[in-house]
Structure 1
Amino acid sequence: MPLIQTTSAAEEIRRLFQENQNIEKDKFPGLVTQHFQNKYASEDAFSQIPVLGLDNVPESFEDGALVVFYGMIQDTSLSSELYIAKGSSDEIGGWGLPDLQDNSNFQPDDLLECSVFWVVSIPGLSSWSTRRSSISKPDTQSPLPYKYPATNVAHVGVQLKVYDESLASPLRATDVHAFVGILNSESFHFNQDSEDVPSVPTLHVLFKNPLQRTIIPRSFPEASLKSSIQTVRKDLIQWIACEALDGDVIVAELILLTLLTKVQSRKPPILPLSLTISGFPPPANISAIPTLQHVLGLIFPMVSTIQLSLDTLNTTPFCPESKDEDLHSGWLQLPVGSIVILNEGAVTEGTVSNRGVSNIRVVQEAMQSQTLEYVFPFSNYRFETDINFVVLTESKNSTFFETNFNVPFDQKNTAAEVREILYKSADQISLPPDAKLDSFRRLVGAACVGKVAVGEDIGKYVEQDFITERAAGQFTADDLVRRMSIAKMVALSFHDTELSIVHWKHIKELERKIKEKQHLL
């Protein structure tokens, strides 16, 4: 396997050190960060750094290569590591540089700490949403596969060493960044005292660029779509419906709107809305992935499917759990902005174990409170998250979960034909022209980061509408909050910055169509 040759960042670090002999040792890591961040600040310069990933796995690179890794922080609990910052012969240590030639006479104040993390490929990451370079694709297996959220999914896992405390201190589990650093292979830091210490890919961080929930930076509204937004929106919904939902545009629109919701407030709770698509036919082959994942993955940056079965519920983890002081991952340890499709098509009759019941509770709490439980030996902690959920079920209601919306799927073709549409492979999807697909992504990406204001006039209109509906039937305050949330998403999907009566009437008409479907099926 040919190794990828790269310019030596180590020589630059040594040169920086020699040029800054008078700087305090604990200030030098910050100088390194600033130097390399400035050097690769332009898009052209940054694009020259090879990408570490499944296209170019760690074994593809020579020791000491400069790489960029688009990764998610999985474990922040690893102990920090001491390193000799300066040797007796004025040599520099750290950043994966070769061991100092004479380290026998160092002084205690020559030691500094670096922070250690475990980072994995961003779960569910769509191939179009980050820069990739395809040089080699050897078979690879992460040395610590239990630290990746999805079971038996190919990925890259990397031990991260961060020398600049200003970079390390803000890092939290499930954060996503583009980490640039020097790659080598070292012992897994957690197991230093073990007899069997695995050697793992290790990235010595020079600097990092945080990634938006959309991965590709977006701004709202998208100026380039201003004149065509209504057409693009209509075409997007039609394309989702035709390719993944047997032409059901009502379901397609509700999927789009619910996936645009996000955490707006925790006190009071204004959280992402969850959706059940009922009457959704199961696959002929229980391992078949819904076409919906492939289609959504072409326009959203992070989409994952959990094929629910009794075995999945009873035997696999859905939340992170510390075992022997090593944090194992779970299905829902995902970045902010992730979409999770829960497919109940493989569920059969049988017994749900205690673990299965716990997993169902973890998912339901993630939907309702947008927090995820991390299990530790003597206590459990809840960490905030921001994930969208879509449940696919053959029944009238989800077997396990309660969601904000339940919309029946309306199949128009025979059972066999519908299954072909709902579970076709990614390469069978009819793609729109590149320019059209890009406009879909820009519409969705901008809407995901946008905000909608509610003016005084529309506020009064909504209030009066609520009073009228409540007096006439079963409309509640919770219904109003849910309708207001989805109405704002209507505005976002049209790239409007303020809610209007048109948006309000649009969502009421969509609700009417959904009720019609529920009565007919």
Structure 2
Amino acid sequence: MTADRRAQTVENPTAVIQELYRAHASSSDLPRLVADHFSKLFLSQSTFASIPPLNVQHPPESHRDRALVRFRAMVQDTSLSTEMYLGEHNDGSCGGWGMYASDDSGSSGAGDVDYANLQECNVVWATTVPAESSWCRDELDGGNSGVVQSPSVPTASSRAHKYPHPEREHFGVQVKIYNRENIESYKASDVVTFVGILSSEPCGLDQTQEDVADAPTLHVLFTKPHTPNNLPRPFPRVVRQSHGGAITSVTAEPSPREAEDTPQIREELMSWIADEALGGDCQAAEWVLLSCISKVQARTPLLLPSPLVVSRFPLPPPVPSTSPSAAAPLPTLSAVLNLLLPLSHSLPLSLDSLNKSNFTPESKDEDLHAGVLQLPQGTVLLVSEGGVREGQLHERGLMNIYALQQVMDTQTLTYVFPFSQFSFPTDITCVILADGRKSTFFRTVLNVPLRAPTDPAAIAALYKPADEVRVPSREKLDAFRDLVVGARCGKVDVPEKTSEHIQTQFVRARQSDRSVTADDLIRWMAVAKLYALSLHEPSLSVETWQRAKAFDDQRKALVTV
């Protein structure tokens, strides 16, 4: 019976709302009842997956009017005006969720409105998730489930300025939220799955214009929040029982068995990163791995991820003169990170992109235009300086560099409004590829020189396209992802024994070298915790501390060469 009810709900969610309204006509909080009913009906992972997804493979145009869909999205703009609607029409039918009175119902005139029935809903603008990798999308949306899906319609966006990277396939949706409990919890750049009824309505962004265009509109029934990584993975790693790329053992077994091959998987992962993207430099690959699992640990006191510079990274091969419009190739590391991380984005810098792009969101005519750095929390950003040539950096270029440096230093991003600006928290880990001994533009603490061959063939291999990357077997790639994403979800404690050892060693280091400061201790602690996370060790042992400190000492020695 429940399965039939669920199928009927997918087929006609509007009728279900009307039934709920008739059953609870006297309730003063119908939106909460609707949210509770639908969320309980699709509570399990398998039943939730039965809701058709709204994504770039299945954009709004491919769904019928008033279809039930689930839309995993990044909240881009929360500044849209709230909207009033009739909770009940004159004919006694339910209002809201895009259900409007018909022209012949006798309630079309303003004088016929019962103002006691007026209610309020919040409106936000949400977009497909920027920086989301295709494997993450497939796992969350069931792309590998083997279900035959309807062909997609080419995705076009009439409001490309509201997406951080308009050259990428994307779309935006006007989202109307009727259950206003915890409405203040929705912040710009949050990733949320909105489940609701899809329609097309006049866009609230165009209310000040004469011609108001329609926009895809989602009338929300209930929502599901996401972790900063989009995908949960166990920490420490467990023996995987997979189906379609998703771990099922965590929920299927009360106590999944902890994996014993994590050190071996870690070594194989570093070797793969080094061989495919870093010219065989395993030490640089290990630093990239540690950076990929770093994140904001706390804001009081500040425990932020340190940006990593991979210096002496060769410039890309010159673009043939016969193809003047061809873009410089992306580092292969971009494709490798895309295969490993749920959220990653590559930002190739050039004078043209710095001088013409907006890295920070900016409100223009009461419409928030997205910035390049308006990314979901948990994104790893690969910044390449190889495309910058001699020329003039204009004011906008300088402001863009400042904005990215601010993200690195404080993990905040400034949103610019006509008469003010506000900073909002971010969680973006930066890896910078620089051809010199250090970054040309950015101040960083961690710098590891790339030690790779510099012959033309070796340099070309650093920029080979994604389709030439040797991808491991599915089983091995799943293990790599479990290690990286699980480490990002993990937390490391420092036992008293290790803490005492660290304090004693720091005192001795200060006595033998007066240049050692508290900043060195902070860096050693951060590196040691990342090292333990990469080994999926919940507790920092003295042995791991020693290995991590020696690892950082090797890096410093390379920088001074």
TM range (shorter): over 0.9
Equivalent residue, structure 1, for 2:198: 183
Equivalent residue, structure 2, for 1:208: 223
- 3-state SS in 2 of match to 1:318: coil
Calculate the TM-score normalised by the size of structure 1. Answer: 0.95
Instruction: Give distance in 1, aligned partners of 2:157 and 2:68.
Output: 20
Structure 1 position 519, deviation (Å): 4.6
Equivalent residue, structure 2, for 1:62: 64
Equivalent residue, structure 2, for 1:80: 82
- 3-state SS in 2 of match to 1:383: strand
Name whichever of 422-431 and 354-363 sits farther off. Answer: 422-431
Structure 1 position 51, deviation (Å): 1.1
CA-to-partner distance for each residue in 1:236-280, whole Å, 9 max, x for gaps? 111111111111110111111122122222232111111011111
Q: How does 1:34-45 map to 2 (within 5 A)?
A: 34-45=36-47
Structure 1 position 436, deviation (Å): 1.2
CA contact (8 A) 1:308 1:346 kept: yes
Equivalent residue, structure 2, for 1:118: 125
Structure 1 position 46, deviation (Å): 1.0
Whether 1:173 and 2:188 are equivalent positions in the alignment is: yes
Letter in 1 for 2:384: N
Whether 1:458 and 2:458 are equivalent positions in the alignment is: no
Whether 1:471 and 2:475 are equivalent positions in the alignment is: no
Instruction: Give distance in 2, aligned partners of 1:348 and 1:383.
Output: 32
Letter in 2 for 1:41: L
CA contact (8 A) 2:293 2:485 kept: no
Structure 1 position 110, deviation (Å): 0.6
Structure 1 segments of 4+ aligned residues over 4 angstroms from their partners: none
In structure 2, runs of 5+ residues without a counterpart are 1-8, 144-148, 240-257, 320-326
Name whichever of 356-365 and 510-519 sits farther off. Answer: 510-519
Equivalent residue, structure 2, for 1:17: 21
Whether 1:432 and 2:434 are equivalent positions in the alignment is: no
Equivalent residue, structure 2, for 1:309: 350
Instruction: Give distance in 2, aligned partners of 1:85 and 1:16.
Output: 13
Instruction: Give distance in 1, aligned partners of 2:401 and 2:194.
Output: 34
Equivalent residue, structure 2, for 1:243: 276
Whether 1:446 and 2:499 are equivalent positions in the alignment is: no
Q: Percent identity?
A: 41
Instruction: Give distance in 1, aligned partners of 2:97 and 2:522.
Output: 51
In structure 1, runs of 5+ residues without a counterpart are none
Whether 1:376 and 2:417 are equivalent positions in the alignment is: yes
CA-to-partner distance for each residue in 1:204-254, whole Å, 9 max, x for gaps? 111111111221222322232531111111111111111111111101111
Letter in 2 for 1:490: Y
Structure 1 position 412, deviation (Å): 2.5
Equivalent residue, structure 2, for 1:93: 95
CA-to-partner distance for each residue in 1:386-424, whole Å, 9 max, x for gaps? 1100111111111110112111111126233322x2222
CA contact (8 A) 2:310 2:448 kept: yes
Instruction: Give distance in 1, aligned partners of 2:452 and 2:533.
Output: 29
Instruction: Give distance in 2, aligned partners of 1:394 and 1:413.
Output: 12
From 232, 243, 254, give the equivalent of 1:217: 232
Equivalent residue, structure 2, for 1:155: 170
Letter in 1 for 2:431: V
- 3-state SS in 2 of match to 1:12: helix
CA-to-partner distance for each residue in 1:105-139, whole Å, 9 max, x for gaps? 23111111110000011111011112254532332
CA-to-partner distance for each residue in 1:462-508, whole Å, 9 max, x for gaps? 11111222222322211110110110011111111111111111112
CA contact (8 A) 2:527 2:552 kept: no
Structure 1 position 289, deviation (Å): 1.9
CA-to-partner distance for each residue in 1:169-218, whole Å, 9 max, x for gaps? 31111110111111111111121241122221111111111111221222
Equivalent residue, structure 1, for 2:452: 411
Calculate the TM-score normalised by the size of structure 2. Answer: 0.89
Equivalent residue, structure 1, for 2:323: none
Instruction: Give distance in 2, aligned partners of 1:132 and 1:495.
Output: 28
CA contact (8 A) 1:344 1:391 kept: yes
Instruction: Give distance in 2, aligned partners of 1:326 and 1:222.
Output: 44
Equivalent residue, structure 2, for 1:107: 114
Q: How many residues align?
A: 513
Change (3 A) 1:44 1:102: farther
- 3-state SS in 2 of match to 1:112: strand
Instruction: Give distance in 2, aligned partners of 1:228 and 1:86.
Output: 61
- 3-state SS in 2 of match to 1:339: strand
Structure 1 position 296, deviation (Å): 1.1
Instruction: Give distance in 1, aligned partners of 2:277 and 2:465.
Output: 11
CA contact (8 A) 2:524 2:552 kept: no
Equivalent residue, structure 2, for 1:488: 529
Instruction: Give distance in 2, aligned partners of 1:392 and 1:288.
Output: 14
CA-to-partner distance for each residue in 1:79-98, whole Å, 9 max, x for gaps? 00111110111111111224
